[in-house]
Amino acid sequence: MDNNESTQFIIVMVARQFLQLYDTKCIIDDGGSVRDVVAILGVRDFVARKLVDQCRRFSKKELKDSFENCLKMDEDIKNGLIKDETALELIVAGSRSGK
């Protein structure tokens, strides 16, 4: 936000990150490797390694719930139910608390 990015763009990028982490978690839990993450997600090797490291800090449920929360907040913004800054704050607070 300090760089004047739109709040909704930030929410979309956070949602994308949670989705990539969830997909990575599924690949690793199914016995995949960093190389599989690269091939399936189409990311560079160093990105895949970071995703693998990060996804180990979460359960599949936490990642799925966080992604779905981002989608819900985006929908609520578009329906005028919540302000975009408030939605972003709730997303960040929820991800920090493990919700």
Give me the pLDDT at residue 76, please: 93
Handedness of CA 4, 89, 8, 48 (dihedral sign): positive
Domains and CATH numbers, the chain: 7-97 (1.20.272.10)
pLDDT interval class at 20 (50, 70, 90): very high
Q: Which residue has the tokens 């960040």?
A: 92
What is the average pLDDT score of the chain?
91
Q: Is the predicted pLDDT of residue 82 greater than 70, yes or no? A: yes
> Which token pair is 84?
């975009």
pLDDT interval class at 6 (50, 70, 90): confident
